[in-house]
Amino acid sequence: EVQLVESGGGLVQPGGSLRLSCAASGFTFSSYAMSWVRRAPGKGLEWVSAISGGGGSTYYADSVKGRFTISRDNSKNTLYLQMKSLRAEDTAIYYCAKSLGGVNYPIDYWGQGTLVTVSS
Amino acid sequence: QTVVTQEPSFSVSPGGTVTLTCGLSSGSVSTSYYPSWYQQTPGQAPRTLIYSTNTRSSGVPDRFSGSILGNKAALTITGAQADDECDYYCVLYMGSGIWVFGGGTKLTVL
């Protein structure tokens, strides 16, 4: 059974940093691209970032480019999202998601999410 | 910047059929965009319904189907049930590793 468990969310001040983690199990982690998707309060889903199975290729939404860094440790079956220069508009539930294949394949499994709140 | 469009809200009667659409602010949606559909109930994680235009995800009932209708992707729900009342999102692949979600459709069953 595929399981994705996010952690690392919390309250952070504007301009601060936070690192999210996603522990994956139930599938061959290194064979699949992974993504982060967020949902801000009162808004819809927003694709944030994706990374290839080997970790060599990364992609970002314009809204986070230059501030967020996606990475993965295939030896630990873990996905990360390093977030810097956080803004109030980054407040959201962040979901870890598994793709059906490479980065050009849709998401098939989702984690339960971790809440990030950016506020002073 | 290309925007993915969805109806903000839709209403269907119990037992009825509804078709939600997913378009582009400029251009037509084709299978090359791998249109996919997700369902989200308040407080829950999203659930994958349809991927790559018309493939149902594991465990999704055949009341849900995907297609291309004209210049848009479409999600059709037949025999609507009360627990189908939630938010529905489409996502399109824009190339170069980039995906864009639509704004979502809030479906009411009444």
pLDDT digits (tens, 9 = 90+) for A55-88: 999 999 999 999 999 999 999 999 999 999 999 9
Q: Which are the contacts of B96, defined by CB distance < 8 A and separation ≥ 6?
A: A59
List pLDDT tens digits, range B30-75. 999 999 999 999 899 999 999 999 999 999 999 999 999 999 999 9
- pLDDT tens profile B76-105: 999 999 999 999 999 999 999 999 999 999
E-strand stretches of B1-110: 4-6, 9-12, 18-24, 36-40, 47-51, 55-56, 64-69, 72-77, 87-95, 98-101, 105-109
| Tokens encoding A69 | 């860094």
Chain A residues interacting with chain B (CB cutoff of 8 angstroms): 35, 37, 39, 44-47, 50, 57-59, 61-62, 95, 100, 103-113
Tell me, yes or no, if B103 comes closer than 8 A to chain A by beta carbon.
yes
Residue B2 reports pLDDT greater than 90: no
Q: B98: which chain A residues are within 8 Å (Cβ-Cβ)?
A: 47, 59, 61
**Does B87 contact A104 at a Cβ distance shorter than 8 Å?**
no
- B4, two tokens: 């993915």
Is B1 a residue whose pLDDT tops 80? no
| Phi and psi, residue A71, nearest 5° | -155, 170
For the beta carbon of residue B110, count every other beta carbon within 10 angstroms: 9
Cβ pair A4, A98 in contact under 8 A? yes
Residues of chain A with pLDDT under 70: none
- Rounded average pLDDT over B11-28: 96
